[in-house]
Structure 1
Amino acid sequence: MRLFLLVLFLLLGLAQRLTVPEEVARSQVIRKALPAVVRIQGTTPTPSQDQVVGTGFFIGPSRIVTNYHVIQDLASITVRLANGRTLPAERFAVDPGIDLALLTLRGGQAPGVLAFSKTPTRELPLGMGVVLVGFPYGQGPLASYGILAGIGPLEVPTPDPSVGAEVGEYLYTDAPLTVGNSGSPLLNLQGEVIGVVSDVVGGPSGIGGIGLAVPAELVAQSVQDLERFGIPQRGWLGASLISLDELPPVLLRAVGLTTAQGAMVDQVEPGSPAARAGLKGAGRDAQGRLVALGDVILAVNGQAVKDKAAVVRLIARYRPGDRVRLTLWREGRRLEVTLTLIARTRR
């Protein structure tokens, strides 16, 4: 018996020596994440049958994080837990600006939960190993592995520009992911969530594409707001914008603008920070045609802006009570206006 135990001990030791430490860490992360990840499915208002639509994960006993676009058009939502049980869930709060939704599980509790990393986004080292766990094509839960390939803004258009418009920068990864992975947790090798998978650019990741994840730093802030207020509390102008490159050049030249870099204020919402700061919207005739330019935003706190998306992303970095300086072009001259951000109104 002693000889058997000795041989077993030696074999286990040999196995450990032959296992790369990163493989051990990766395996432990996957094992920890599996109980916390759920398959989200639901029906549309005119359903033909239940359909698998994405992934989510528990951050509390009954609270699930997923993408807003996953549940956006669903009339009913159910989730399948790691133990195979299928239970109903309902929307708790949503944040389309960063493509985030919180769900509440009904009739059960989480078999496992995941925590957000507290490491600031800009301190995440490029090339670090990352793991994601989800339901590609509805199968799984399945895990994949890759690296953090980059951090930065999204430069290509998205199918719905209103969803995720306030994400200033994404995490990019080459970890394979595809349809059904939306809402998957992107994890570091300590098992912490560093991002929430939202999309793939250029095709399935690892097959001519690259995966995108909303940074945990931004998600955690939004979760805190949604839990407390029911709505996000990021910076908000309260004005609709039009990118200058969408406007006729003749209108720009008429007010002395020689650049197409910037965003025009089209309409100003009453009572908004834009209205309180005196921003001027565009003039339109009875048919809604543009006849006079509104204020043109050239920079936010000294940082030049390319288009309306850049303005929204920069403003979204701030919180209610913050003061933000806008560089404007109005009636042929440059001026600066300072506005104070306020909490968004509940809709």
Structure 2
Amino acid sequence: MRALLLLALLLTLVLGQRLVAPEEVARAQVIQKALPAVVRVQGSALSPGGEDVVGTGFFVGPSRVVTNYHVIRDLKDLTVRLADGRTFLAERYAVDPGIDLALLTVRGARAPGVLAFAQVEARRLPLGMGVVLVGFPYGQGPLASFGILSGVGPLEVPLPDPSVGTEVGEYLFTDAPLTVGNSGSPLLNLQGEVVGLVADVIGGPAGIGGIGVAVPGDLVAQSIADLERFGLPQRGWLGASLISLDELPPVLLRAVGLTSTQGAMVDRVEPGSPAARAGLKGAQRDTQGRLLALGDVILAVDGVAVKDKADVVRLVAQRRPGDRVRLTLWRDRRRLEVTVVLMARPRE
């Protein structure tokens, strides 16, 4: 407590404000430490008539900035602006659309600050913990906001751009206020560690009835390490689209002898994929796309029971290309096990 009071006194002298509550002191300390590392990301539209985009990013190395892939995908002439107003040219280093992540190299500048990632899995983060984010909403800033970690789990509603983030099994949700321009902002715990990469907001601006959505920090850190070493993400890839059983008509489940909605059905199998090589069977549909017969149902991955498709995506994404994964399936009214050798997702 004495240390916190001394810190409060120091921050009072520096900021000219009275900070008394320990959480208030912690938030102020996190924000002040994060400010130098957070940048505004901007560029010009690639196509004539396209819109220029402003987003947020943050330094994860001396010249490396992480942001969202959807922020920079359709941009050229990229720049980053530091908190002190200086602007530098940037270029793409590597991208990972599967989790909506891009790494940029900043030319002519060394990071005035670098943010570190928390060494914890998303599912181990306690709900209700305080979180802080720093970014450039509407290009203004850097501005900070705070809230709580509202939830961890799969996204039940589509994001505005369904072509990115397809390999994120579960997201972080927060009520911390954020809006347009906050994409790419760091979501920080009260120790100043990154626990998430802000991706979007659903249902209106977060903090005003909407919900902020972030990619878990452990997944982001893994991707950054892969991109730095290989230039490509190295998550395991199954090569099959999935549907959670609770999204399917119960009558179809009963018809194949399933009494539970725990699991994920294989809908489509991509040719040449690990799923295809292992002989996984997809669903049968008519010419209008209506479901006629179920495909294989995945009940467990390496003996770990799965609740839905998000569980399958998460467990497979934790493996690496070349790993052998044992899938417990329901096919022809009986259980069986199939071994799949994972691959890296093909470059687009």
Q: Would you say same fold, with TM above 0.5?
A: yes
Structure 1 residues 173 and 266: CA distance shift in structure 2, 3 A: closer
| Higher alpha-carbon Rg | 1
- Whichever residue aligns with residue 71 of structure 1, its letter is I
Counterpart position of 1:64 = 65
- Whichever residue aligns with residue 340 of structure 2, its letter is L
Structure 1 residues 341 and 52: CA distance shift in structure 2, 3 A: closer
Quote the offset at 1:244 in angstroms: 7.0
Separation in 2 of the partners of 1:75 and 1:81? Answer: 19
Quote the offset at 1:131 in angstroms: 1.1
Structure 1 residues 127 and 291: CA distance shift in structure 2, 3 A: closer
Counterpart position of 1:300 = 300
Counterpart contact for 2:61–2:111, Cα < 8 Å: yes
Counterpart position of 1:33 = 34
Counterpart position of 2:191 = 190
Quote the offset at 1:331 in angstroms: 4.9
Separation in 2 of the partners of 1:29 and 1:310? Answer: 32
Quote the offset at 1:67 in angstroms: 0.9
**RMSD of aligned residue pairs (Cα, Å):** 3.4
SS of the residue aligned with 1:102? strand
SS of the residue aligned with 1:162? coil
Counterpart position of 1:175 = 176
Q: Does residue 212 in structure 1 map to residue 213 in structure 2?
A: yes
Q: Does residue 225 in structure 1 map to residue 226 in structure 2?
A: yes
Higher mean C-alpha deviation, range 276-285 or range 240-249:
240-249
- Whichever residue aligns with residue 237 of structure 1, its letter is L
Structure 1 residues 49 and 109: CA distance shift in structure 2, 3 A: farther
Counterpart contact for 2:234–2:321, Cα < 8 Å: yes
SS of the residue aligned with 2:318? coil
Counterpart position of 1:109 = 110
Q: Does residue 322 in structure 1 map to residue 317 in structure 2?
A: no
Quote the offset at 1:340 in angstroms: 2.6
Counterpart contact for 2:35–2:134, Cα < 8 Å: yes
What are the residue-to-residue correspondences of 1:82-93 with 2, within 5 Å?
82-93=83-94
**Matched length:** 334
What are the residue-to-residue correspondences of 1:1-347 with 2, within 5 Å?
19-48=20-49, 51-241=52-242, 262-270=264-272, 272-281=273-282, 295-301=295-301, 302-307=304-309, 311-331=312-332, 333-347=334-348
Separation in 1 of the partners of 2:308 and 2:22? Answer: 45
Structure 1 residues 24 and 304: CA distance shift in structure 2, 3 A: closer
Quote the offset at 1:42 in angstroms: 1.1
Quote the offset at 1:224 in angstroms: 0.5
Structure 1 residues 157 and 59: CA distance shift in structure 2, 3 A: same
Quote the offset at 1:150 in angstroms: 2.2
Quote the offset at 1:147 in angstroms: 1.7
Quote the offset at 1:118 in angstroms: 1.5
Quote the offset at 1:181 in angstroms: 0.4
SS of the residue aligned with 1:180? coil
Stretches of structure 2 lacking an aligned partner (at least 5 in a row): 1-8
Quote the offset at 1:217 in angstroms: 0.9
Quote the offset at 1:124 in angstroms: 2.5
Structure 1 residues 187 and 257: CA distance shift in structure 2, 3 A: closer
SS of the residue aligned with 2:78? strand
Counterpart contact for 1:263–1:311, Cα < 8 Å: no
- Whichever residue aligns with residue 270 of structure 2, its letter is V
Quote the offset at 1:207 in angstroms: 0.6
Quote the offset at 1:227 in angstroms: 0.7
Stretches of structure 1 lacking an aligned partner (at least 5 in a row): 1-7
Q: Deviations over 1:229-261 (max 9, x none)?
A: 111111211234566788899988887778886
- Whichever residue aligns with residue 128 of structure 1, its letter is M
SS of the residue aligned with 2:132? strand
Higher mean C-alpha deviation, range 243-252 or range 207-216:
243-252
Counterpart contact for 2:159–2:200, Cα < 8 Å: no
SS of the residue aligned with 1:39? strand
Q: Deviations over 1:311-346 (max 9, x none)?
A: 433422322343322233445554321213234444
Structure 1 residues 258 and 49: CA distance shift in structure 2, 3 A: closer
Quote the offset at 1:130 in angstroms: 1.4
Higher mean C-alpha deviation, range 130-139 or range 44-53:
44-53
- Whichever residue aligns with residue 218 of structure 1, its letter is L
Counterpart contact for 1:241–1:266, Cα < 8 Å: yes
Separation in 2 of the partners of 1:293 and 1:188? Answer: 46
- Whichever residue aligns with residue 26 of structure 1, its letter is R
Counterpart contact for 1:268–1:281, Cα < 8 Å: no
Counterpart contact for 1:300–1:315, Cα < 8 Å: no
Structure 2-normalised TM-score? 0.82
Counterpart contact for 1:165–1:313, Cα < 8 Å: no
Higher mean C-alpha deviation, range 176-185 or range 146-155:
146-155
Structure 1-normalised TM-score? 0.82
